[in-house]
Every structure is written in structure tokens, then in C-alpha cells.
Amino acid sequence: MNFSIRCISLYVLILMLMNSCGQKRVSARYDFNSVNDRVWIGEDFWAVPLEDWHVKQGRIEYNGTGQQATCTVLPYIIGPGEKSFTISLDMGLLEMGANSGSAGIIIGSKAPEDDDIKAAIYFGSGINVGVNTDGYAFAGQSTKNLPSDFDFSHFRLVLTGEKNKEGFLLHLQVLDDEGKTAVELRTMPEAPLAGIIQLVNNPRSARSQNSGPKFWFDNISLEGPGLSYIPENRFGPVLWSMHTLSNNILKLTAQMPPISEKDNQLVEIEFKTVNKWVSAGS
């Protein structure tokens, strides 16, 4: 069965190149300029809580009030082996909120007892990287103060991971809206780094509270041999289906995500007969 719906108009560039060491190099870039305003971000992402994230005016925005709100990049993960990678994205403050808080990304997130990506999305933990509205940047346990006049309305995070003589090093740069380095810091993970990559708004900590700041995210770039591409992790636009068969009558329902009124509203069902797909209705 083929459900004809144009679900993703994300700009995605996927390159599989070979570097000089013979390693596969993954590169992916997302912007949301061609995505209609809607709750469902696309088949390459899964947001928790789903209703608190949406695409608006060509970027991802968070509009909830809770803590540890995540939006996972589904088909790309940090693979084992501590190979190099770079993750970068634009961010900005939408609303300060009643309480201070932070936002950024979680890298290498895994569930404690289950290697499944669905478990990692909901129950995983990894290394938090980003900025806090109290005026500092962080990568894991390392922190550094931002300039006193730092503009939270638009900035860019650039995180690289690479091996050196001492071990695997994470290097975070926070760039201002002019592309100048506002702060940079380095840290080394305490354990081997591997797992999913998530955008995060108001990550939970000993000091975090509900009704924290709300941020937007855009122009996400992922590249390097340390990233693995797993296309079967994608999910949508048909999320799941159910059917019954009684007296030779098939009844079927298909659950779609909350798409935009401007998206294609047509769902088509096809049956395969003699190696050919034939439309049965829409």
C-alpha cells in the first residue's frame, strides 16, 4: 500500500563521501523554509511532547512550559568508535519565561537498559550542551560565562568531537549573530560517547523549573565520520495503521500526524497485483 502524501518539504542534503582514511563521512543539513507551519516537524524528527513543538515561519519553535522537552533527529546518531563529528545549529530566545533555564542539544543519549531508539527518545540520557539564560554556556559539567551583553535572540552553537592524545575531546563554540565567537569551552566525556542527538528546551536539572525560557532552532548541520545514518529510524507520514477482516471485507484505518491545512490532504491506497501497484481509492 502506498499513501501518497507530500509529508516532507524539508531541505535535506545527504552526502555519503569517503575521506582519506576510507571512513564513510555523513553530512546532513536541515532548514525548514519550505515546510508549512504545523505541529508535525517531519519524518526525520520526533518531538516530546509532540504538541509543544511546531514549525513556524521556517524554523522549529518550542511553545510549552515543561522541562526536558526534546526533539530527536531520527536518522542520524553518534556511532561507536569515537570518530570525529561536527554538530551546529542556529538558536534564539522566543520568550524569557517566569524562570531562568537553558536550551541546546543532548548528544549520545541512550536508554539505560534498552538499545532501541524509541527508549532513548523517552528515557535516554546523554551530554547536555547549550546556553543558560543566567548567562553561561555549558558542555557536560564544564561551564563558562557568556559576555554580559550577550544577545540570546539569535546565536549559533558549533560542537565538534575528536580524538586527541588525551582522549575524546568535545569543543563548543557559541557564536553571536554576527558569527563572532562569544565563548568557547572544552570537555572530555567520562564514558564512550554514542547515541541519539536531540534538540532540548529547558533540560531538567537540580535548579530547573517549569515555565522556563522558550527557544527556536534552525539550520541544523550534522557531519563527520563519527555519525551513522540509519534511514529506517524515520517515522511518518503514516504513523501506524489498524485493520479488521470479516466476511472477506477489509476495513483499514491509518493514523496520520498533525499536518498543516496547506499540506496535501489526499491519502491514496494501492494494492499490488501481478507486480503492479493499482489504486483502489483515495
pLDDT digits over 67-82, tens only? Answer: 999 999 999 999 999 9
**Once rounded to an integer, what is the mean pLDDT over residues 124-145?**
97
Contact yes or no for 203/102 (Cβ under 8 A):
yes
- Residue 46 confidence (pLDDT): 98
| Per-residue pLDDT at 236 exceeds 90 | yes
**Once rounded to an integer, what is the mean pLDDT over residues 211-227?**
97
**Once rounded to an integer, what is the mean pLDDT over residues 174-186?**
96
Pick from 12, 21, 11, 10: which is nearest to 224 by CA? Answer: 21
| Per-residue pLDDT at 2 exceeds 70 | no
- Residue 182 confidence (pLDDT): 97
Average pLDDT, the chain: 91
- Residue 10 confidence (pLDDT): 46
| Per-residue pLDDT at 42 exceeds 60 | yes
For CA atoms 12, 261, 94, 122, the dihedral sign is negative
Q: How confident is the model at residue 15 (pLDDT cuts 50, 70, 90)?
A: very low
Whole-angstrom distance, CA of residue 44 vs CA of residue 54: 14
Q: How confident is the model at residue 162 (pLDDT cuts 50, 70, 90)?
A: very high
Pick from 51, 157, 42, 150: which is nearest to 107 by CA? Answer: 157
Whole-angstrom distance, CA of residue 87 vs CA of residue 224: 9
For CA atoms 48, 51, 52, 57, the dihedral sign is positive
**Once rounded to an integer, what is the mean pLDDT over residues 129-147?**
97
Residue 70 forms beta bridges with which residues? 48, 200
- Residue 166 confidence (pLDDT): 85
Q: Tell me whether residue 131 is exposed, middle or buried, using C-beta atoms within 10 angstroms of its C-beta: 0 to 12, 13 to 18, 19 or more.
A: buried
Q: How confident is the model at residue 23 (pLDDT cuts 50, 70, 90)?
A: low
Instruction: Tell me which of 47 and 23 has the higher pLDDT.
Output: 47
| Per-residue pLDDT at 25 exceeds 90 | no
| Per-residue pLDDT at 8 exceeds 50 | no
| Per-residue pLDDT at 16 exceeds 50 | no
Q: How confident is the model at residue 13 (pLDDT cuts 50, 70, 90)?
A: very low
